[in-house]
Structure 1
């Protein structure tokens, strides 16, 4: 079962699992997911789609649960911050309860946002983070942190088989064109010939992992030995400034867009780069798709859809 299965990451994960001849139950309430993302899978007899909100209990029979349900871009998770927190916390409780009842292995899609605005660089899994608990991003950051707490408490108290992955910036086809994330923002603005919006002076950094690399990491983590539960960072350690990303997008789209500098949003982290040595050691995983190759595939996707 994949919760959030009609979302950007969830739809790619459903595809991957089906390609391995699994039966896949996709669960989504379409808050930020989109039925179009999985429409091409509906004819597959091994694929089942269920409209459901994970903040309510779910009674199905499964042996593996990938819990991806939660809006992940600031525009979506800040639209209804109470619901965002409920999705992370109540959703985790309900999915953990389902895993306990069915004796299923369960993977939590956590986030690099648990590190907040980090005081160490790059970020390693032992770092507890620097998070504002009452800021405008807290519904997402603290919701995901609480979900990790619940996963480990179910692991210690009930012996549940858990896996936790901390996702760093991921991009690729099926990103929502208006999700407010930097890759989709830059590409859409460049293709429209609009000014590219850069917050701050453009020197803040991010690392960008192409979606296929991340999904491969999810599947490896779920299949890993039971004693390895994580959390484990997954992302591309290649670090780029926002200016470097903008320049790459302009070059690949051949756009004449100009750069427009705006004030940095509150609590926006200045640096984000994963240390993936744990994933490399335990899962033999590391990203293989260079940024420019992934950007080209993502640009081609956005050219095909109405933006």
Structure 2
């Protein structure tokens, strides 16, 4: 795609990351003027410093979710807008989950407004995570996925799905040329050493001389795409793609994690130990579900991962139950309520003489002894210590007369 600086001016949101840096470098080499907007939440200042040597490059440190970005860029006329802005990585979900949601919603809306005013072409960089926990491999663009809108990874997944919906809606309503690209595993220059994806992890540990853990038996497969090929795919979709359509861009050659580790060692000439870790430790480290690998046997591995997760959950619950006071776990006689209470290690509910259950003023059911209160919500059970003083506050009638006498005496 031939161009010169007088014809093409591009805005790249999230241009300080790996993909944005390589895309900006390619566009600058082709003669375009490039403005990068990034708040550097996960982007790197070192990438910006390398690009700033080019005379056609400009950088704005700003959050695209800030409405002021529309005013800041209202006088600039762009021919292309690339929305790559969103923190990535499973470890960042808990720390930057809100930014993920805002960048994919309010940030996407702000960039679409700029695109509409400039009559530019717009590309929204989505993710393979939009398919959720898929049971179809590989995933075609027509596959709707198997998603959990409130799962542990939902800030990233749901944010991207909302961004896709908003992009397509605006394209149809206002006649904007929009494209959506779902990006699969990518690697290449400008990746952060702190990136928690498999290839940066391997390289970082090899350079530091640390063991490289491989979870499971290492036969799980992945596909990878070099960032240069990804940039080629993005530019091809922008120039030749159909407006409003979704495109998957990723590698098509499967490789086991064990073979990947051998390839990385051979390419770098570095040596390191290759310890194998249990799958349950992988589940714990991922702080959520572990994505199944590509291949026909992925369903079996997913089933084993779920079993391992269930065993880990039961172990944690057993440790929690063993830490309860012995008198709460003592066997008791009684009916169904008593048996259910023994299962979670607490006293059975109290009842009135006529058999009706007793409730506190806050709506919780009383338990024998008035020492604890149990709140049951789904599978979660929490015990809360309650002192006599707190019980008095919950039942004003117990000390009403004493407080009245006190008020009259002070009067």
Q: Tell me if both proteins adopt one fold, taking TM over 0.5 as the criterion.
A: yes
TM-score, with structure 2 as normaliser: 0.63
- 3-state SS of the aligned residue for 2:162? helix
Check conservation: 1:191, 1:255, Cα contact below 8 A.
no
In the alignment, the residues of structure 1 paired with residue 123 and residue 211 of structure 2 have an alpha-carbon distance, to the nearest angstrom, of 40
In the alignment, the residues of structure 2 paired with residue 82 and residue 272 of structure 1 have an alpha-carbon distance, to the nearest angstrom, of 30
Query: How far apart are 1:90 and its partner, in Å?
Result: 1.3
Question: What is the alpha-carbon root mean square deviation over aligned residues?
Answer: 1.6
Check conservation: 2:214, 2:274, Cα contact below 8 A.
no
Unaligned stretches of 5+ in structure 2?
1-10, 296-411
Check conservation: 2:220, 2:293, Cα contact below 8 A.
yes
Residue of structure 2 equivalent to 1:113: 129
- 3-state SS of the aligned residue for 2:282? coil
- 3-state SS of the aligned residue for 1:196? coil
Query: How far apart are 1:252 and its partner, in Å?
Result: 2.9
Residue of structure 1 equivalent to 2:111: 95
Check conservation: 2:87, 2:96, Cα contact below 8 A.
no
Check conservation: 1:27, 1:49, Cα contact below 8 A.
yes
Query: How far apart are 1:78 and its partner, in Å?
Result: 3.2
In the alignment, the residues of structure 2 paired with residue 36 and residue 52 of structure 1 have an alpha-carbon distance, to the nearest angstrom, of 17
Larger Rg: 2
Mean CA deviation greater in 195-204 or 30-39: 195-204
Query: How far apart are 1:43 and its partner, in Å?
Result: 2.7
Mapped pair 1:249 → 2:264: yes
Mapped pair 1:19 → 2:41: no
Query: How far apart are 1:143 and its partner, in Å?
Result: 0.6
> Which of the numbers 242, 253, 256 marks the counterpart of 1:238?
253
In the alignment, the residues of structure 2 paired with residue 79 and residue 185 of structure 1 have an alpha-carbon distance, to the nearest angstrom, of 19
Residue of structure 2 equivalent to 1:205: 221
In the alignment, the residues of structure 2 paired with residue 135 and residue 206 of structure 1 have an alpha-carbon distance, to the nearest angstrom, of 23
Q: Pairwise mapping of residues 212-223 of structure 1 onto structure 2 (< 5 A)? A: 212-223=228-239
Mapped pair 1:32 → 2:32: no
Q: Pairwise mapping of residues 44-193 of structure 1 onto structure 2 (< 5 A)? A: 44-57=54-67, 58-59=69-70, 60=73, 61=76, 62-193=78-209
Query: How far apart are 1:107 and its partner, in Å?
Result: 0.2
Residue of structure 2 equivalent to 1:268: 290
